[in-house]
Each structure stands twice: as structure tokens, then as C-alpha cells.
């Protein structure tokens, strides 16, 4: 679908308002190139994990179907290969959503953030070994608890290396719990929405996927997790890995609930993880997650300036390209700090004047000095949805108007809207005129009701898809573009079922605390069907020395740890190992596995627990989003 006149005008306006003549970032992104990326990375059986060529079309001037500011960002994020940051620090970029960095230790490589999957991490390690120096890996650093910063760890080391003490793994305090919990409680819905956010269902093209703003897209190989050997918390200020000192700063509740940054004083190089990158980041991620703390984020960057500013000559991170020079490095830190603080303070100022979430999001703009700074542009987050996140964090979903307190759900509301507006034909006639006039935000708002009232209305689906397409072409944020264009694709073609992405690998299950697994089982319980069931079971895990009491009452499955000296009365006791319990979570018939000949030792009457496993819901991954 071509760009409409309204889209061409919107994108042309941005070309006039932003300093596109400033090409300094292009020079930085290309600085220090040692070797190009391999064309492809595959699994052992030949499955494609990464194709470095699929974004080769992103070159030259922006086409009419891509926001020119986003196009500029994707030109920069597409500059991939092995780079020398400074002598002794190397980085592989554009081999996944994130960067992987290598620091020269006394005897081996210190690996910073080993990407999402093992295959791309191994390919990056081979690049630095082949073109710099072949060395063993002696340490791995996980900067924070998001999958693109630890999932590829098995590509650079093995659990045996770690167990034998040959490799240390350093992470922020709280890492393991946060790494597994974010993908457990609402993991199915979050992963489905992530397929929209990263444009995984879109063909790479000028009318489809061009990238994600934070990086290109996500790799699709083997996801793993090896648990840390060393943790960095509030009281920790330094650690030495393979003869290299890292001066650390714990920065929780910024971009991730568990995160840290550090200065490498030998190089005067500040590694900012994902707290400072060349983008305005998400305070709320559109895939879904807990809202982040804009105020705490800005204070963490201020702490970096205070503690490390005088000693910083270089900033590099787990996304995008480095910044060299003392003044330029501090300027990047200050503008990032000021961006998050401005959004926070101005949102609350307007909220305290009685403005609502949508009103604030529509009117708030960054001041000119920040708005014209490329690293503050909304390629991943956006001013609009970050403002809504700040409002939600403090004031929640309700804007105070009783009319919005108890609205009808989407389908019921849609049918009423369509009836009030004179029926589907009348709505579509007016909406087509608004689409021709370029008012696609309003077309999307109105025609969604026709689609939800009658999802088989082909004309409505096509018009809504057309509106989404133009809004995607105009979007500066990579996730906004991907959401709009993926929504348009599903309206036209239906939900395309492909192999389901999953971070629930054996490594992740093994790292998940037992209490969290039991909480997740409680979420999966069909509560209404279990409302009449009662009973209790003691779960004893011998290899981890754990005892958990499970109680079924009023359709709710409770769990709590108990000590060996606590006297509890239960209907049954199940004694097994945590390893066996992990395998139970992936079996098709857990009730049969519990009572089978290879099952655990059971005393008493396990009927209540068996009933629970017979009433666990299976969550469909490819649920509808743009249709009811």
C-alpha cells in the first residue's frame, strides 16, 4: 500500500523540524570496524537463527512509507560487525537486538551481555577470537534481567565451565528471580504482544519491518540461562574479574528491576548497560510489563554523573554505538537524565492541575533542546506512551470521571456505538472520507467498533487496516510501526500461526523458584471449576531441601514454604526431587506422571492435587488482538 498524501506531509514535516544534516552519529557507528558479520547464523541442523542481509534494503534516503527519523535510526542500527571500541574492548553489533561486548582480561575474555540465543553469541565469540585473539572466556556479565542480555550464555560458556570455576558469571542482585518471573505470570500474553512489538510477523521491507528502534529484531535460536556466581547489590562498589577492575553501581528499577552499570577505570570507559542508550527508552513496554520508574531512572543517571563523570572518556552500552570523549559522554548522560526527569515532572505537574492521562499525553512535548537531540527521540519508547506510563504508575487506570469507571467491554460497547452511529454502512461512509482527509487516528478509533461489532465485515477490516498502515508509515517509534503494521496484516490475512516463541527453556524452569512455579500453577487453575474442591498436600523436594504446603480452598491454590520442624496436617505428602518436578511441568499428562511407576513417593490421599492438575488451563498463544 502506498503512502497517502497525509502520510507524506507528516513525514516531510519531520524532515524540516529535525537536524538531519548532523551526521556525527553515522561516524560514531562506523568507527573501529574490524570485520563484517557472517551473512547468516544457523542452528546445528541448519535452521536459520539470524540473517544479516535481510535489512540491506535500509539504505539511502527514507522512502515515503517510513518515518524519516526512524529510517535514520535504522540506518545506524544496521551498521554491524566486530568493532574495536578502544584497544582491549571490542563489540559485536547488529547480530541480535542487543550488543555483545568483549573485554580483554589477563588470561581470557570477559563477555558483557551474551545476546538472546546461543548461536549468535557463539558466532560473535568466533569473530573476536578470529580477528583479535583466540582466548578462553573467563567471565560473563549479565547487566540486567531481560532476555536479550543473558539468553545466549551457552554460546560463550557451559555450565561445566562455571561449576569448575573456570568462568564466573556476574549479575545484579535479584537477577534470577526477575529474569524468570517477568516471563511467568503474564508470559503468554506478553510473548504474543511481543510478536507485534518486534514485527516478527512482518516481511522486512520499506512497507513492513525495518527494525525495532532499539536494534533490528530478535534472534531465534537456543535460549538458555546459567545462574550467576557473583551478585552486585547496593553495597557493592567494585569487583575484579580476570585482573580487570569494574567499579560498579547498582541501578535497580530503571530499565529493568535488576540492573547495574560499571566503570572500567583502566580504559576510563563507562558501560551503561541499557540505562543510557541512543534512544528515549520505554517507561512502559508495549509488549506489557510493570511500569518503570522515570524518577528513579533519572536519579540513577545522575548518580553515574556524580560518581563516574570525572573519570569517563567513553560511554558504551548494550545497544547502539559508543560515544567517545569526555564532554560528549557527559552530554549524553545529561540529556538522557533530563529527558526522563522532564517527562516525570511535567506529567505530574499537569496531573496535579487536573489533566487526565490522555490529555497530558496529547499536549506534552519535550523542550526544544531535548526534542532536537537524537538520543532523546522516541524510537523505542515515545513521549506519548511514556507519559501514560507515568500517569498510570501514580494514579492508575481511572481518570476520575465516573463515566470511565465502569465502561462496557469492547464487543458490547462496539455494538452500542455502531447502533448509535447509524449502523456500519453509515460509519464506513464517513470513515472513508476521514481516511481520504488523512485523519487516520480517528478512523482507527471509530472503525474498530465496526470490526468488534461484526468481525466478518470485510469492508470494515480493510478500512481499519488501511488506517493502521498509514499510522505505521508515520510512526517514529519502531514498536509503534510494528504494532500498526502487524495489526493491519492480521486484519487482512488473519492470524498467521507459526512456531511459538518461548523463553520457558529447561534452564529457565530450573532457575525459577519453586514458590513462583506454584504461583504460576495457581494462575493456570480453572478457578470456577475448582470452587468446590478442598484439600492440602505437602510437597517435599529432597535435592533442594524444600517443603511447600499446598492448600486448595474456594477455587484458589495457596502455597507457602514450611520448615522441617513445623507440624502440618495434610491429606497427602509427595516426596520427590526438584529435577523431577521440573520435568512434570513439561509433560502432557501431569496427573498420570504423578501416579505412574516412575513417579514420586506419595503417602496419604493425593486426590486434591490430582484434581488441580486435571484443571490446569492451556493458554493459546495466537489469540486475537485486533479482532474480538
Q: List, for residues 426-448, the tens digit of each pLDDT value.
A: 999 999 999 999 999 999 999 99
Average pLDDT over residues 484-513: 85
SS3 of 66, please? coil
Contact call for residues 138 and 242 (beta carbons, < 8 A): yes
DSSP state of 593: H
CA distances from residue 209 to 63, 481, 489 in whole angstroms, order as listed: 13, 8, 12
What sign for the dihedral angle of Cα 508, 510, 512, 515? positive
Cα angle value 409/412/417 (rounded, 5°): 110
Average pLDDT over residues 569-589: 88
Question: Between 585 and 299, where is the model more confident?
Answer: 299
Cell 506519548 found at: 384
How high is the pLDDT of residue 341?
Answer: 96
- pTM for the model stands at 0.92
Contact call for residues 46 and 56 (beta carbons, < 8 A): no
Q: Tell how strand 230-232 and strand 168-172 pair up.
A: parallel
Average pLDDT over residues 609-619: 86
How high is the pLDDT of residue 455?
Answer: 96
Residue 263 sits at φ, ψ, to 5 deg, of: -105, 135
Tens of pLDDT, residue by residue over 300-332, are 999 999 999 999 999 999 999 999 999 999 999
Tens of pLDDT, residue by residue over 329-377, are 999 999 999 999 999 999 999 999 999 999 999 999 999 999 999 999 9
Residue 619 sits at φ, ψ, to 5 deg, of: -90, 120
Q: Work out the percent of the chain whose per-residue pLDDT is above 90.
A: 85
* Separation of alpha carbons 397 and 518, rounded Å: 29
How high is the pLDDT of residue 492?
Answer: 97
CB atoms within 10 A of CB 369: 10
What HEC string does 21-39 produce?
CCCHHHHHHHCCEEECCCC
DSSP state of 204: B
SS3 of 42, please? strand
Tens of pLDDT, residue by residue over 249-282, are 999 999 999 999 999 999 999 999 999 999 999 9
Q: Tell how strand 230-232 and strand 81-86 pair up.
A: unpaired
Asked whether residue 502 carries a pLDDT value surpassing 70, the answer given is no
Contact call for residues 445 and 467 (beta carbons, < 8 A): no
How high is the pLDDT of residue 501?
Answer: 58
SS3 of 272, please? coil
Tens of pLDDT, residue by residue over 448-475, are 999 999 999 999 999 999 999 999 999 9
How high is the pLDDT of residue 5?
Answer: 96
Domains of the chain: 30-371 (3.60.15.30), 404-493 (1.25.40.880), 513-613 (3.30.1050.10)
**DSSP notation for 340-405:** HHHHHHHHHHHHTTT--HHHHHHH----HHHHT-GGGS-SSS-HHHHHHHHHHHHH-S--S-GGGT
Tell me the sheet residues that pair with 48.
42
Averaged pLDDT score across all residues of the chain: 94
Burial group, residue 553, by CB count within 10 angstroms (0-12, 13-18, 19+): middle
* Separation of alpha carbons 248 and 264, rounded Å: 9
Average pLDDT over residues 239-246: 98
Contact call for residues 622 and 499 (beta carbons, < 8 A): no
* Separation of alpha carbons 593 and 576, rounded Å: 12
Amino acid at each position: 500500500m502506498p503512502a497517502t498524501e497525509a502520510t507524506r506531509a507528516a513525514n516531510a514535516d519531520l524532515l524540516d523540524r529535525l537536524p538531519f544534516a548532523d551526521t556525527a552519529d553515522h561516524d560514531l557507528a562506523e568507527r573501529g570496524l574490524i570485520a563484517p558479520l557472517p551473512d547468516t547464523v544457523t542452528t546445528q541442523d541448519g535452521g536459520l537463527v539470524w540473517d544479516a542481509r535481510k535489512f540491506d534494503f535500509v539504505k539511502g534516503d527514507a522512502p515515503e512509507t517510513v518515518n524519516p527519523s526512524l529510517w535514520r535510526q535504522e540506518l545506524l542500527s544496521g551498521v554491524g560487525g566486530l568493532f574495536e571500541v578502544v584497544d582491549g574492548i571490542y563489540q559485536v553489533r547488529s547480530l541480535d537486538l542487543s550488543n555483545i561486548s568483549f573485554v580483554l582480561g589477563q588470561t581470557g575474555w570477559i563477555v558483557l551481555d551474551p545476546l538472546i540465543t546461543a548461536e549468535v553469541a557463539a558466532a560473535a565469540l568466533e569473530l573476536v577470537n578470529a580477528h583479535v585473539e583466540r582466548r578462553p572466556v573467563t567471565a560473563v556479565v549479565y547487566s540486567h534481567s531481560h532476555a536479550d542480555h543473558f539468553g545466549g550464555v551457552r554460546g560463550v560458556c557451559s555450565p561445566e565451565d562455571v561449576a569448575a570455576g573456570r568462568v564466573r558469571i556476574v549479575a545484579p542482585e535479584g537477577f534470577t528471580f526477575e529474569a524468570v518471573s517477568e516471563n511467568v505470570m503474564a508470559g503468554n500474553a506478553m510473548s504474543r504482544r511481543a510478536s507485534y512489538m518486534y514485527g516478527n510477523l512482518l516481511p522486512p521491507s520499506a512497507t513492513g519491518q525495518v527494525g525495532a528502534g532499539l536494534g533490528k529484531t530478535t534472534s531465534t535460536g537456543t535460549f538458555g540461562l546459567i545462574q550467576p556466581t557473583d551478585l552486585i547489590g547496593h553495597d557493592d562498589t567494585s569487583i575484579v574479574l580476570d585482573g580487570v577492575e569494574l567499579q560498579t553501581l547498582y541501578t535497580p528499577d530503571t530499565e529493568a528491576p535488576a540492573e547495574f552499570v560499571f566503570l572500567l577505570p583502566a580504559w576510563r570507559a563507562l558501560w551503561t548497560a541499557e540505562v543510557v542508550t541512543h534512544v528515549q527508552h520505554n517507561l512502559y513496554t508495549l509488549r506489557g510489563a510493570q511500569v518503570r520508574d522515570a524518577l528513579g531512572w533519572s536519579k540513577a543517571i545522575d548518580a553515574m554523573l556524580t560518581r563516574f563523570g570525572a573519570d569517563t572518556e567513553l560511554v558504551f552500552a548494550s545497544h547502539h554505538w559508543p560515544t567517545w570523549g569526555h564532554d560528549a559522554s557527559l552530554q549524553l548522560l545529561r540529556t538522557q537524565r533530563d529527558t526522563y526527569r522532564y517527562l516525570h515532572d511535567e506529567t505530574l505537574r499537569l496531573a496535579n492541575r487536573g489533566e487526565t492521562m490522555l490529555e497530558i499525553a496529547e499536549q506534552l512535548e519535550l523542550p526544544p533542546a531535548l526534542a532536537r537531540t537524537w538520543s532523546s527521540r522516541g524510537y523505542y519508547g515515545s513521549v506519548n506512551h511514556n507519559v501514560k506510563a507515568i500517569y498510570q504508575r501514580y494514579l492508575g487506570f481511572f481518570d476520575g470521571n465516573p463515566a470511565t469507571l465502569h465502561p462496557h467491554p469492547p464487543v458490547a460497547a462496539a455494538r452500542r456505538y455502531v447502533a448509535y452511529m447509524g449502523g456500519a454502512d453509515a460509519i464506513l461512509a464517513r470513515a472513508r472520507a476521514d481516511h481520504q482527509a488523512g485523519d487516520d487516528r480517528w478512523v482507527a478509533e471509530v472503525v474498530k467498533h465496526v470490526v468488534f461489532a461484526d468481525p466478518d465485515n470485510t469492508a470494515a477490516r480493510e478500512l481499519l487496516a488501511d488506517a493502521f498502515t498509514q499510522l505505521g508509515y508515520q510512526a517514529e517509534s519502531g514498536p509503534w510501526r510494528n504494532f500498526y503494521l502487524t495489526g493491519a496484516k492480521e486484519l487482512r490475512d488473519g492470524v498467521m500461526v507459526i512456531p511459538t516463541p518461548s523463553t520457558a527453556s529447561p534452564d529457565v524452569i530450573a532457575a525459577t523458584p519453586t514458590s513462583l512455579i506454584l504461583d504460576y500453577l495457581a494462575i493456570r487453575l480453572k478457578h470456577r471449576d475448582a470452587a468446590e474442591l478442598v484439600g492440602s498436600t505437602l510437597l517435599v523436594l529432597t535435592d533442594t531441601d524444600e517443603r511447600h504446603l499446598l492448600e486448595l480452598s474456594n477455587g484458589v491454590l495457596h502455597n507457602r514454604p514450611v520448615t522441617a520442624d513445623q507440624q502440618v496436617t495434610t491429606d497427602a505428602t509427595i516426596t520427590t526431587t526438584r529435577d523431577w518436578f521440573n520435568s512434570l511441568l513439561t509433560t502432557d499428562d501431569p496427573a498420570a506422571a504423578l501416579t505412574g511407576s516412575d513417579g514420586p513417593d506419595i503417602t496419604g490421599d493425593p486426590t486434591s492435587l490430582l484434581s488441580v492438575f486435571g484443571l490446569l488451563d492451556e493458554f493459546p498463544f495466537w489469540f486475537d488482538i485486533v479482532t474480538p
